[in-house]
Structure 1
Amino acid sequence: MSYNNVDINSLAQRLVAARKSANITQDVAARHLNVSRPTFIAIEKGARKPKPEELVQLSELYREPLNQLLRRQATPKLAPHLRSVLDPSAHGQEGLDAAISKLTNFIEDYQLLEEQANVRLSGEFPPPIRLAASQVERFAEQCAKEERERLNLGSYLPVNALRRLLEKVGIHVFLDAVDSKLAGLYAFAPDFGYCILINRLHPLERRRWTIAHEYAHFLTDRDRPGVDFITSSGRKPLNERFADAFAAEFLMPEVGIKKRFYEDIERSGDFNVGDLCRLADYFMVSVMASCLRLESLKLIPKGTWDQISEEKVPVGTLKQQAGITEKIGDGDPIEPYPERYRQLAVQLFVSGKITEGQLSKFLRCDRIKAREIVESCSLTQDDANGSTSIVPLSLGHSLISNARGDNE
């Protein structure tokens, strides 16, 4: 972390990221250094190396420790790659820069923790999957079945603690509040691994779906960055169709879905909206996702979701009527960073390798909260607001016979 040996381009990238993270304009930063705006722009472009005293001033202004600005690793170059995959006419750039900056900062901090702790997480990745244009959905389902077997998930049970599971195999999953249109970002950082940023503002069910969806991208596009939005226009490309079908089978395995479905049929002779809500709750997916999964397996008529969604009744009300209590979580922590990340930060602090201020910076909280995390290292909280799916009001509404008439 020597000033004389620092890579000027990496330093410039970190200064830009730190300024944006601190929500400070170039004009404000230039005035803080008492230099002209063109001079400051030259610093951020790597054309002029900042003086030591200027670095100290910027470190204080951005509240970014000097040792992080001068770290040895190269800054992950995610921004231009992630922007290049977008269709500006469809989604624009609003909120994307902030999301990219957050993912970049997470990766940099995780790398620094590993470097200071002198440890690396090595995952046993499966070989990349090559997609074929024909029968991509069936191929995706088969790949999901194989992955469940490889990860010892069984053939019919729901996936608990999905985020922890993927971290163990070397997939880094971060959570943070980003633009509501963004579901997630994914990118491969050289010498570190595959990284996913999930929108923390989304309900638990949506977050789990996005994680599984992004994991499918890892299996097929691990060296390509990408951005997933809540909605997409036009026909989905091949890799997106694969990711959707993979996520459906991975989270809602066909064997498990059919087992629960036929148990309900055997018990009551029917499968109604209440049963659908309980099925969705069991697999920790949205009511819409579970309904579309039943349609794809031809257990209920195609178009059922289109029909029942017209009722526009909040799913939370129906879940209460069906006796479903609010789900606290799926066994995963809700912190922005993975559990291993937190453990590394706490261990470094306890061993005296980082200060309390640096600890709170890594943990993205104030010092009081950081002390509490050190004391417990097991805090879990959930800020999910519940599903926004909509289903018909009547829990007894049959989903086997067509609601609009058997002849339709």
Structure 2
Amino acid sequence: MSSLHEVLTRSRRRARYSQDDVGAALGVSRAMVSYWETGTRIPNDRQLSALARLYGIEPVDLLEGRDVELAPDGLVGMLLRADDAVDPVAALGVGEFVQFLDRFAELAGILNEPIRSLTQSPFAHRQKYTQKDDIRRKAEEVRAHLGLGSAPILDLDPIYGSLSIATYRAPLGADLRRAPSGAFLKHPEMGFGILVNLDMTPGRQRFAVAHELAHALFHSDETNRVLCHGAGSREGFADGFAGEFLMPSAGVRRFAEELGLPPRIVDPVDIIEIQRYFKVSWPTALVRLRQMNAITQDTYVELRASIRPASLARALGYAIHPEEDAQNAELGRIQRFPRSFLRLLRRAVVTGAMSPPTAAAFAGLSLPDIVKILGQPSGDARNESPQLETGFREFEVTGVV
């Protein structure tokens, strides 16, 4: 047996992280990490859990001083080995993602709820069918399967719910030159799961969700996990699919014609109209229009460098999401989860299968978050069900969340 600070030091070194890396991942200073590793300070429970996820071991091993090797076959390790240079912030996010899928399966078991999951793609894919026409055709097939036609997709979450693909959002790093945009994982119980980098703007997150869908539907017969970082044939295919899925060529042409726009667009105001209609990011709109030859290469370069799309959209009367101008946007914990998970969590509390504090701890939420899920605007969820009174009394006495 070793002391906690000794295990922390050896675990960090085995994971090949510096103290600066760990501090950045946990939101503390390098000095604080040094205090933990010399025994001067002791991490709190939340920090211990985060450290364990980062190092790929169990929190109990840290607490009991067991010096264990990194688990080679865990789902987190499988994803992280897809990219040896993964940032520690991304490692924590991947750990959150896998933990979420595990908890989702556990919650379904507690409620005796059958797990609705996609474990095999309904679409055929052969490795050589990866040309532009093939990618466009596959995006059209998926849209037809979902009954979307060529219209804009206003909300992606119901689509993934209908496909029984669990989605989760977690911080993976704001520097997109190093940070992954997301991941795909085939979980042994939950089936297909998708992770999206929360540190990206909303438009980029939408693109990442569609990108990961391509991996789930067309690469899951080749691999059970993909960490999306860098280039490669799979990434190129997924990028092309995401563009066609979010901005189908026929839909873009139809909308442009209805607006009376010219076939070859040069005015950024016209591109703003198209971008806002299809609810994609400015870079995605430019790339798609360039792929369709609706703008020239010179126009693409000029507009990419000279236009501030949020400012222009605001001047045109569009409502601007507060996260559009910046990355690292804060998103409430509740919104990281898919609606299907939140519905089950709510049912667990309402039926008395979990007390409110237990549900909060189980999902990593606060008690006020649970109150919101219960739909109590007054902040008092006791009237939702008689079973809740005991749970809230427990919280008031113990202060446990």
- Equivalent residue number for residue 130 of structure 1: 125
- Report matched runs for 1:263-282 at 5 Å: 263-265=258-260, 272-282=267-277
- Equivalent residue number for residue 351 of structure 1: 351
Post-superposition Cα deviations, 1:263-285, rounded to whole Å, max 9, x if no partner, equal 33459996510110121111011
Using the TM superposition, name which of 178-187 and 201-210 deviates more.
178-187
Moved over 6 A (4+): 28-31, 267-270
In 2, Cα distance between equivalents of 1:294 and 1:111: 41
Post-superposition Cα deviations, 1:275-317, rounded to whole Å, max 9, x if no partner, equal 1012111101111211111111112213432222232x42211
Match of residue 285, structure 2, among 287, 290, 293: 290
- Quote the RMSD (CA, aligned, Å): 3.3
In 1, Cα distance between equivalents of 2:152 and 2:316: 20
1:19–1:189 Cα change, 3 Å? farther
Paired AA for residue 259 in structure 1:
R
- Equivalent residue number for residue 372 of structure 2: 372
Asked if residue 79 in structure 1 is aligned to residue 107 in structure 2, the reply is no
Alignment check: 8 A CA contact 2:90 2:171 kept: no
Asked if residue 317 in structure 1 is aligned to residue 311 in structure 2, the reply is yes
1:164 Cα deviation (Å)? 2.0
Alignment check: 8 A CA contact 2:243 2:288 kept: yes
- Equivalent residue number for residue 146 of structure 1: 141
1:32–1:169 Cα change, 3 Å? closer
**Normalising by the residue count of structure 2, what TM-score does the alignment of the two structures yield?**
0.70
1:376–1:138 Cα change, 3 Å? farther
1:139 Cα deviation (Å)? 0.7
1:322 Cα deviation (Å)? 2.3
1:197 Cα deviation (Å)? 1.3
- Structure with greater contact order relative to length (CA < 8 Å, sep ≥ 6): 1
1:95 Cα deviation (Å)? 2.0
- Equivalent residue number for residue 98 of structure 2: 104
In 2, Cα distance between equivalents of 1:151 and 1:310: 36
1:369–1:283 Cα change, 3 Å? same
1:29 Cα deviation (Å)? 7.0
Post-superposition Cα deviations, 1:3-61, rounded to whole Å, max 9, x if no partner, equal xxxxxxxxxxxxxx9875344799x977954xxx4xx125x879xxxxxxxxxxxxxxx
Which blocks of at least 5 consecutive residues in structure 1 are unaligned? 1-16, 47-74, 378-408
- Equivalent residue number for residue 207 of structure 2: 209
How many residues in Structure 1 have an aligned counterpart in Structure 2? 314
In 2, Cα distance between equivalents of 1:299 and 1:264: 14
1:96–1:204 Cα change, 3 Å? closer
- Name the SS of the counterpart of 2:228 in structure 1: strand
In 2, Cα distance between equivalents of 1:293 and 1:167: 26
- Name the SS of the counterpart of 1:98 in structure 2: helix
- Equivalent residue number for residue 196 of structure 2: 198
Using the TM superposition, name which of 260-269 and 118-127 deviates more.
260-269
**Normalising by the residue count of structure 1, what TM-score does the alignment of the two structures yield?**
0.69
- Name the SS of the counterpart of 1:109 in structure 2: helix
1:146 Cα deviation (Å)? 0.6
1:216–1:376 Cα change, 3 Å? farther
